[in-house]
Amino acid sequence: MTDVDAYGIYISSNCILRYGMGDLWEWVPKPYGPWTPSTEVRISNNTVVRAATGGIAWNVTGGAIVEHNIVQEATYLAANAAIWWAYADNSVVQYNYSHDNAGGFMLYVNDTYSTINTIVRYNISQNDKARIFRYSGSIDMVINYNNTVYVGAASGNPVMSDYFTKPSGRPKNIYNYNNLYYSVKDKGWDLRGQTFDSNAYYGGKTLVKADAHKVTADPRLIAPGSGGTGMDTEDGYQLQSDSPLIGAGVPMADHGCRDYFGNPLYNGDPDIGAFEYQGLVPPATGKTEVVHPPVQVTPMPKH
C-alpha cells in the first residue's frame, strides 16, 4: 500500500461502550454499541509506504497479533506513529520493521478507558523521527523487550519517549528489557511510568542511569543504520561474535521462540536486541526469568 491519503491499515468499531465510556473520535459513527472487540485479528506480511496519517492502527480488539510488517515514510501529515493502537486489550506486536516515519515508531494511546496488556518484542526501528515511543492516556501494563532502535542523523534529533496524561488517566506499568538503543543524536526520555532493566544504550542521550544491568559499550553491530527497503535488508543489526550484548539480557517468559531473523531462542543467556547470536557461547547461567502477570481492567465510574 503506497501513497495513501490517510491510513495504510486501520481497524475499528463503534461497539465500544464499557466502563463508563461516553464518546470517541468524531469519525467513529454513532450510535455506539456495547463493547464487542474484534478477536482473532492478525495483521501480517504487509508493506505500507508513505501513508499520510498512519501506517498500521487497530482499535477495539482483543488479542491482536501484528507481525512481519514494514512501515516506512508514513505519518507526514499527522502526529500518529508508524504503528499504533487504542482501546485494544492483549496485543502482541513483533517482527516489524519501521523506518523513516515522520511520526515515530510506536504509539500506545487511550482516551477513555485502559488499553491493557501489550507486548512489543523483536522489532527494528531505523531513523524514525519526532519521537520513538509515545505513551498517551490510560495505558496499563506494557512490556517492551528485545527491540532494536537505531536513531541516526536522518532521525532529526527525536525524543526517545514522551508521555501524556489525559482525562482517562496516565500511562503506567511500562517495562523495558533487553532492548538496544543506538543513537547518533536524541533528546532523551520522559521516564514517567517506565522501568528499565538489562537494556543497552549507545550514543546520544539514551542512557537510563536507573537501569541496574545496563550495557553501555559499543554493541558491535555488523552495520548499524544500513537497513534498506524490504524485510530482508536488516542483517546489519545482527551482532558480531565479540559483541558485549551476547548473553547480557534477562530471560523473558513466553518469549515467542524466535528472534526477528527467525533464529531460535535462547542460545545460552539471552542477548540484547532483536538478534539472538547463534555461534558458540557459554552455557546459560540460570538467570531468573521475568514474568509479568496480566493486569485486570478496573471499571471506570458510570456517568
Q: What is the pLDDT along the chain (303 residues), one digit of tens a residue?
A: 999 999 999 999 988 887 767 777 777 888 888 889 999 999 999 999 999 999 999 999 999 999 999 999 999 887 789 999 988 999 999 999 999 999 999 998 877 667 899 999 999 999 999 999 999 988 999 999 999 999 999 999 999 999 999 887 899 999 999 999 999 999 999 999 999 999 999 999 999 999 999 999 999 999 999 999 988 999 999 999 999 999 999 999 999 999 999 999 999 999 999 999 999 999 999 999 999 988 876 554 444
275 assigned to some structural domain: no
Does residue 278 lie within any of the structural domains?
no
245 assigned to some structural domain: no
* Residue 113 domain-assigned (yes or no): yes
Q: What pTM did the predictor assign? A: 0.95
pLDDT of residue 133: 97
Q: Are 59 and 88 in contact (CB under 8 A)?
A: yes
Tell whether 242 is covered by a domain: no
124 falls within a domain: yes
pLDDT of residue 303: 45
Range(s) of the domain holding residue 127: 7-237
How many domains are there within the chain?
1
Q: What pLDDT was estimated at residue 172? A: 94
Asked if residue 91 is part of any domain, the answer here is yes
Give the per-residue pLDDT at 112: 66
In a domain, 243, yes or no: no
68 with 231: CB under 8 angstroms?
A: yes
**Paired sense of beta strands 124-126 and 148-151, if any:** parallel
